[in-house]
Structure 1
Amino acid sequence: YFYLRYTMSYRDLEEIMAERGVQVDHATLNRWVVKYSSMIAASAQSKKRPTLSSWRMDETYLRVRGKWMYLYRAVDKAGNTLDFMLSERRNRPAATRFFAKALSSNGIPNKIAIDKSGANAAAIREVNRILKRFGCPAKVQTIRSKFFNNMIEQDHRFIKRRVRHMCGFKSFESASAALDGIEVANMIRKQQFSSDTTSGFRMFAEIAG
């Protein structure tokens, strides 16, 4: 949790823990993040408070193995994190996969605000076709608004600030896992979970448990 939440390296955390009498290698910490972060993120989706039906969706970018990759993200109109997905490509199939993932964990929204991306608009049309095929009367409204989407662009900053201090991702798997964990830490910061604890670390442990 401390690695995912704060701007510190694995070696920093190794040293901090050693000062408290806990001996753990920085490589072990890395393996823990890769192994457990995605499972904790899945648990977080089932434990978070209900979200609103007006969404803002956007993607940001980061380097993995020296190549640009894309982090799809969505928040509701109150700024609560809905879902996230790292993708090697920024196109209609990737956007469709992301929307399917977000709908499965958050239900069907009334509307989604996006930027001018044609791929995202095409993905929402595809989602509406799928919903109609399954007899769902609901239709997701698309809003193209820079003003509405400014909220999620601001929300990207927490993720980008944490990633900026990392030494770089060596694989898609490690990048995806670390981003899953960072997103959960961000959700805890936003108080998206019902709990008596005020400690972010304890909340993370409750989600993991």
Structure 2
Amino acid sequence: MLDTKRMRFLLEIIAVCIRWYAAYPLSYRHLEEMMQERGAFVDHSSINRWAIRFLPLIEKIFRKYKRPVGSSWRMDESYIKINGQWKYLYRAVDKEGQTVDFLLTAKRDKTAAMRFFDKAMLLNGLPGKIAMDKSGANKAAIDQIIEDKGLSIIVRQVKYLNNMVEQDHRGIKRMTRPMLGFKSFRAARNILAGIELMHMLRKGQLNLVGCKNMSFADQFYALAGVVRPAII
């Protein structure tokens, strides 16, 4: 369960607010109004702080119960605007479209790509194949990892093979577009963790006892340590 000591509002109310923000293209002010209609007078700035604080913690809990992904990955990066500047969101899915991993970085280069691959392999195991676009930095990164660790991974730079991950980016872009850019790298990283979490829940990637009979919302609340709040 999340630590909400010294918080004015119950965890159930906090969980509703941050789930709605991560699951739907809503602003903090939209959520403030929606909660007021339900008798909970929550300031939009409080919802912002809750989202930044708690979404990455729930995503971390989810990783303990994340279903294993396949060994054939499609990797690509997308763009995220932070404080008026473009940053880079590295992502990968397997051949079934299941999210492998993601990483927000300040730069788009070999070092950033290596960080992404190292994280993805540490948490998801080694892939047998990786498909990517013609990016020289991404290819140099995986070649370096293969050489350093003595791995046997087939790397294919064929654009049509990457259509799946490029299409998958749209689910994330649909959520970030109404946000009109993030104000800080930390806020972007933490909110994106929540958005990616909801994206994975919708794909059925939670492997928790009884989750097959639960809605995506109830799966989120279970990870947060609450039952479905009566307020909704």
Whether the 8 Å CA contact 2:56–2:194 is kept in 1: the answer is yes
Whether the 8 Å CA contact 2:77–2:91 is kept in 1: the answer is yes
Q: Answer yes or no: is 1:207 the counterpart of 2:223.
A: yes
The SS at the match of 1:122 is helix
Q: Which residue number in structure 1 is paired with residue 42 of structure 2?
A: 24
Q: Which residue number in structure 2 is paired with residue 44 of structure 1?
A: 62
2-side partners of 1:70 and 1:172: how far apart? 11
2-side partners of 1:63 and 1:168: how far apart? 5
What letter matches 1:207 in structure 2?
Answer: L
Identity of aligned residues (%): 49
> Which of 90, 114, 131 matches 2:149?
131
The SS at the match of 1:93 is helix
The SS at the match of 2:180 is coil
The SS at the match of 1:28 is helix
2-side partners of 1:61 and 1:13: how far apart? 26
Q: Answer yes or no: is 1:174 the counterpart of 2:187.
A: yes
Q: Single out whichever of 61-70 and 32-41 deviates more from structure 2.
A: 32-41
> Which of 140, 143, 148 matches 2:153?
140
> Which of 214, 219, 232 matches 1:198?
214
Q: Single out whichever of 29-38 and 198-207 deviates more from structure 2.
A: 198-207
> Which of 158, 161, 185 matches 2:171?
158
1-side partners of 2:161 and 2:62: how far apart? 26
Within 5 Å, give how 1:74-85 maps onto structure 2. 74-85=92-103
Structure 1: gaps (5+ residues):
133-137
The SS at the match of 1:158 is helix
User: Shift in Å at residue 167 of structure 1?
Assistant: 3.2
Whether the 8 Å CA contact 1:197–1:203 is kept in 2: the answer is no
> Which of 101, 104, 114 matches 1:86?
104
Q: Answer yes or no: is 1:66 the counterpart of 2:112.
A: no
Q: Answer yes or no: is 1:116 the counterpart of 2:127.
A: no
Per the normalisation by structure 2, the TM-score is 0.85
Structure 2: gaps (5+ residues):
1-18, 226-232
Change (3 A) 1:206 1:59: same
Per the normalisation by structure 1, the TM-score is 0.94
User: Shift in Å at residue 21 of structure 1?
Assistant: 1.4
The SS at the match of 2:91 is strand
Q: Single out whichever of 20-29 and 111-120 deviates more from structure 2.
A: 20-29
User: Shift in Å at residue 129 of structure 1?
Assistant: 2.3
2-side partners of 1:14 and 1:99: how far apart? 39
Q: Single out whichever of 110-119 and 188-197 deviates more from structure 2.
A: 188-197
The ranges of structure 1 where at least 4 consecutive aligned residues each deviate by more than 4 angstroms after the TM superposition are none
The SS at the match of 1:185 is helix
What is the number of equivalent residue pairs in this alignment? 204
User: Shift in Å at residue 128 of structure 1?
Assistant: 1.0
1-side partners of 2:162 and 2:212: how far apart? 33
What letter matches 1:79 in structure 2?
Answer: G
2-side partners of 1:92 and 1:36: how far apart? 31
Alpha-carbon RMSD: 1.2
